[in-house]
Chain A
């Protein structure tokens, strides 16, 4: 009977969620790359950002380390915020408004497949973004990529934790705006402010104490710091607000946001516009 394929064991349920999640990820990525303007602007955004910042402030910070070298970790980290968090917080309410979520909720699709699809789409676009950024940085700005396996390892785990936190929080916070028009209005300024206080462009030692505390709460500061640990020489560690890379705290704070995001996703995700029912 057909029911057999739909009410199967735990293992095949997980398999089904993964297979369908993969399919959703494929469709979402395809849809993303079909929207030409979006592709150009969002993929090139970090590279543009680096060019502009470098033109404005570009100089050599210490012998052997250019401003571009110093800037790149922050640009990567804020790329995760825009590509993961911001994209989803704006996109999902639109999908809710347009009835896509309702359509998916009506289909016998495991809900997790939708989230897996989003993660894969964010991952695909983020990797494309990252490749373009690093290519530009290395070719035109003489940026050095991490030179040791250890540094690459740091880069990898900060990237993976960071993108996971951003994606989950993006999905989670997407249930807060009433509708699709409200989302960008809230998110864009908020994320800009967080970028400034989190030391994306420069280490925030000049910030007043209370703003620094605020920055400590959000994951972006820690993502920047982790990325700098991968891209900058050890001598830069004492320029951080904490006087060292604090990689343990980096993992802890980003990890905490992953947990918060996950809990919010599980409890409060809205598939329909109505607030009456969950």
Chain B
């Protein structure tokens, strides 16, 4: 069921000659444990891109490498044409990073903190302008400690936005929001996107990705298993649909089919027009996503992972060498001898770039997970 959607391209890379972000063969290791297994990814200018994945999948590691906070152990990364590992101030001025909380400024007010940060940038937003965009004009004179949860979060975004970034990173932006503020926040992000800001967000909320993202990637255990539009992620568009209707006796009927159009046409013919109670249901993004990651999650829990994304060691780190070997991928080589592991990768018949999101690798990743799970059980 896991389809590679960019069949014409390689992995998460696309043919975009000038992407906002270009990642090839990205590898990150923590003490012999490989957190990212040669990830490929392109994010286009002006798109909203969602990075999905369970805790410990490597999302934060990946984002922090893009932001320049973390070093990498292999592969290439270009963000706005610059390697974040060698970023200068000019590059930082074009990037916005929205971090989790502003509690460190509790005794200062919103206006003071924003004015302060504005000074670092060559072309910042005006404080009033930004507060109005975020709908928190009334909070300007409020101490940070006195802000409500929603205002606090908008303040975080304001700090990420103050420099008028071309590219904005949002790490789980609506965690802890009530449904209403979440919706307001989404509208705001959409406005930003309409103004041409490229946005990369990580999230646990599928509906968030579905609402906001032009494309989404699913990261499982350091590998991208699919990159696609939310509507086609994980072969969602090709999955069987369920057609439901109410028959002449008033009973609810359903039919599972891969050709819902045909079925509906048949029903229309049979009823001679409108079909009572007609529904066509595709698997929700949630269903598809859970199918992609559930086994990975189970494995992570079985491994005693604490669930924190990218603590030094993420999911599956404590597996014995035997488990690793049974997984049959490059991890065993990497664990045995890191230097040699890398060499093996590049010398392998399958080029590193292919291993990220091709159909076979996706299947392999799922197979690995199943094997791990079996071994742990």
Binding site for B on A (CB under 8 A): 2-3, 5-7, 20, 23-24, 27, 30-31, 34-35, 94-95, 98-100, 102-103, 105-110, 271-272, 274-277
Contacts and interface: CB of A to CB of B under 8 A. Distances in A.
Q: Report, as a range, how many residues of chain B touch the other chain.
A: 20 to 34
Interface string B57-93: 0000000000111110000000000000000111011
Interface of B: 30, 67-71, 88-90, 92-93, 95, 97, 99-101, 103-105, 107-108, 112, 116-117, 119-123, 159, 163, 312
A30 B108 contact: yes
Given A2-B122, A27-B108, A106-B97, 18 more contacts: A2-B123, A3-B90, A6-B90, A7-B88, A20-B120, A23-B116, A23-B119, A98-B101, A99-B100, A102-B69, A103-B159, A107-B117, A107-B120, A108-B89, A108-B90, A108-B121, A274-B70, A277-B69
B71 A31 contact: no
Contacts of A102: 69, 99
Given A7-B88, A7-B90, A276-B70, A27 B99 contact: no
Contacts of B112: 27, 30
B290 to A, nearest CB: 30
Contacts of A271: 69
A98 B69 contact: no
A94 B106 CA distance: 13
A31 B145 CA distance: 12
Contacts of B312: 274-276
Nearest to A27: B116
A277 B312 CA distance: 11
Contacts of B68: 106
Contacts of B69: 102, 105-106, 271-272, 277
**Closest 6 pairs (CB-CB, A-B):** A34-B107, A108-B89, A100-B104, A2-B122, A108-B92, A98-B104
B103 A98 contact: yes
A238 to B, nearest CB: 49
Contacts of B67: 106
Contacts of B93: 2, 6, 108
Given A7-B88, A98-B101, A107-B92, A20 B119 contact: yes
A100 B100 CA distance: 10
Nearest to A16: B89
